Each structure stands twice: as structure tokens, then as C-alpha cells.
Homo-oligomer: A and B are copies of this chain.
Amino acid sequence: MLIVHVHVHVNPESVAAFIEATIENAQNSIREPGIARFDVMQQRDDPTRFVLVEVYRDEKATEAHRQTAHYVKWREAVASMMSEPRTRETFSNLFPEDKEW
């Protein structure tokens, strides 16, 4: 699997709107055939910080995701909510194995 962690730091006044837009994006993304998981989490000691854990079946699935209407809507909606540019890291799964995702 190709796992992407997206780190987002949001302006305090945008936290509620960011959560709403990001849950909507996750609900749509998880229906894409190339996406196994699309988890959204909020940092406990700083509620303006979020990580999206996006689990793709392959590289093509990441490209397909970026062309969906829900991703484009999310990207445009949250652009002005971020207090700094978001960052990303990519990983491969060691556990569990591919068939378990």
C-alpha cells in the first residue's frame, strides 16, 4: 500500500469549518476503489493540528483521487483555513500485509 500522512495546521477560527469539510471529503474518498482507508484525526494537545492518514492501493489511486470533484472541492475550501502550508510524508505498510487493508 502507499500510505500518505498529510499534516495540516489550521487557524483557530477555522477548526470547525475545516472538520466539516474534511469529514465530507473523507466520506467520499473512502468510496474510491483505490482507497482502503481515509482516516482523519485531531491532535489532542493542539486541536488546530490534524493528520489525514490516506491508504492507497497504488500510485494510480493517488492520481485518481486528485482528480475527483470532492478532492478539488476540499482543496479549495480549506486553502484559506491553514495557518501554514500542509506537509506530507509517504510510507509503505509493513504490518498488516496488503490483503488485510
Contacts and interface: CB of A to CB of B under 8 A. Distances in A.
A9 to B, nearest CB: 13
Contact of A43 (B30, B40, B42, B91): B91
A43 B89 contact: yes
A95 B3 contact: no
Given A5-B51, A53-B53, A40 B90 contact: no
A14 interface: no
A3 to B, nearest CB: 5
Contact of A91 (B22, B42, B91): B42
Interface of A: 2-3, 5, 19, 22-23, 26-27, 30, 38-45, 50-51, 53, 89-96
